[in-house]
């Protein structure tokens, strides 16, 4: 079997959300696919991530992480770190997901059906949020192909991903990475929208296999009653009780 791995974005401010994402992924898996946290400080310590970053105060005095190259804030520590996954996984298919997701199905089946001719496979959202703020007061950024990169399968052996060098990873604005600047359009495969259901934005007729609380997880003020919040809290209870 071609190598498979899963990387979930970790941010210390969202530790519970990360735990629920990992717990629910493991709950449904029918194959022994390793699940790892994508941790920014480990990339920095390894000398891979060298993008200059500053901590600044926002208009409401809440600290924000500022990506100097992008001249823009980062809402999470894995905002740009996600694109280092092919370097970490090295071979096979590697799934990256944001830390604010909840699995509701067996993602191993998706690995089984991936098209090897594609470099990246993701949901092709047409996501144009009107709000300017999201979780914990963070800026709601707008860019081309928004949220395409929040759940994506990397074909680490595809020659196109060899273009994703450290020079590119550490030298171009984040918005260019999120629009897959190193790929041609026909190198980006399309994933079933059920595998990146954006709460409050995806069509209601979709039965989600992965719920993405893109604006805030249910333990954040103001997001307690969003769709699938009760299910997320049930998963949190099960996780806290040891599964």
DSSP letters, 83-120, are: GGHHHHH-SSEEEEE-SSEEE-S-THHHHHT--TT-SE
Worst-scoring range by mean pLDDT, 52-61, 68-77, 118-127, 153-162?
Answer: 52-61
Using a pLDDT cut of 70, give the percent of the chain over it.
91
**Per-residue pLDDT tens for 152-169?**
999 999 999 999 999 999
**Structure-token pair, residue 75:** 């809402």
Nearest CA-CA partner of 81 in 56, 121, 50, 58: 50
CB 231 within 8 A of CB 103: no
Residues 173-177, mean pLDDT to the nearest whole number: 96
**Per-residue pLDDT tens for 182-229?**
999 999 999 999 999 999 999 999 999 999 999 999 999 999 999 999
Using a pLDDT cut of 90, give the percent of the chain over it.
85
**Per-residue pLDDT tens for 44-64?**
999 999 999 998 876 666 788
**How long is the chain?**
243
- What integer pLDDT is reported at residue 130 of this predicted model? 54
Point out which residues pair with 95 in neighbouring strands: 6, 153
**Structure-token pair, residue 166:** 């450290």
Q: Does 81 have pLDDT greater than 90? A: yes
Which residue reads 């984040």 in tokens?
Answer: 174
Kindly report the average pLDDT of the chain as a whole number: 92
C-alpha 138/C-alpha 118 separation (Å) is 33
- What integer pLDDT is reported at residue 57 of this predicted model? 76
The CA-based dihedral angle spanning residues 57, 58, 63, 67, taken in that order and rounded to the nearest 10 degrees: -90
Burial of 38 (0-12, 13-18, 19+ CB in 10 A): buried
Residues 83-95, mean pLDDT to the nearest whole number: 98
- What integer pLDDT is reported at residue 134 of this predicted model? 47
- What is the domain partition of the chain in residue ranges? 4-240
Worst-scoring range by mean pLDDT, 1-5, 101-105, 219-223?
Answer: 1-5
C-alpha 110/C-alpha 49 separation (Å) is 29
- What integer pLDDT is reported at residue 5 of this predicted model? 98
E-strand stretches of the chain: 4-9, 35-38, 53-57, 63-67, 72-74, 93-97, 101-103, 120-122, 151-155, 188-190, 197-198, 210-212
- What integer pLDDT is reported at residue 132 of this predicted model? 45
Q: Where are the alpha helices (DSSP H) in 179-228?
A: none
Nearest CA-CA partner of 10 in 122, 91, 98: 98
Tell me how far CA of residue 170 lies from CA of 46, 164, 194, in angstroms. Answer: 14, 10, 32
Question: CATH code for 4-240?
Answer: 3.90.550.10
Q: 140 pLDDT band (50/70/90 cuts)? A: very low
pTM: 0.91
- What integer pLDDT is reported at residue 139 of this predicted model? 47
């Amino acid at each position: 079997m071609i190598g498979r791995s899963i990387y979930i974005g970790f941010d210390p401010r969202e530790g519970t959300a990360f735990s629920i994402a990992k717990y629910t992924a493991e709950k449904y898996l029918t194959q022994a696919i390793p699940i790892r946290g994508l941790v920014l400080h480990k990339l920095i310590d390894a000398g891979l991530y060298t993008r200059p970053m500053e901590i600044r105060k926002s208009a409401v005095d809440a600290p924000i992480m500022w990506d100097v190259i992008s001249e823009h804030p980062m809402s999470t520590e894995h905002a740009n770190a996600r694109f280092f996954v092919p370097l970490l996984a090295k071979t096979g298919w590697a799934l990256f997901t944001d830390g604010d997701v909840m699995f509701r199905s067996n993602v191993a089946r998706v690995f089984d059906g991936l098209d090897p001719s594609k470099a990246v496979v993701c949901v092709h959202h047409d996501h144009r949020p009107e709000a300017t703020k999201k979780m914990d007061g963070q800026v709601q950024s707008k860019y081309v192909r928004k949220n395409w990169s929040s759940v994506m399968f990397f074909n680490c052996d595809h020659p196109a991903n060899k273009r994703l060098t450290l020079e590119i990873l550490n030298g171009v604005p984040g918005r260019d990475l999120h629009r897959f600047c190193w790929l041609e359009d026909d190198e980006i495969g399309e994933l079933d929208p059920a595998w990146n259901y954006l709460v409050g934005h995806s069509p209601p007729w979709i039965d989600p296999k992965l719920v993405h609380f893109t604006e805030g997880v249910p333990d954040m003020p103001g997001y307690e009653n969003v769709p699938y919040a009760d299910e997320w809290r049930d998963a949190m209870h099960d996780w806290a009780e040891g599964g």
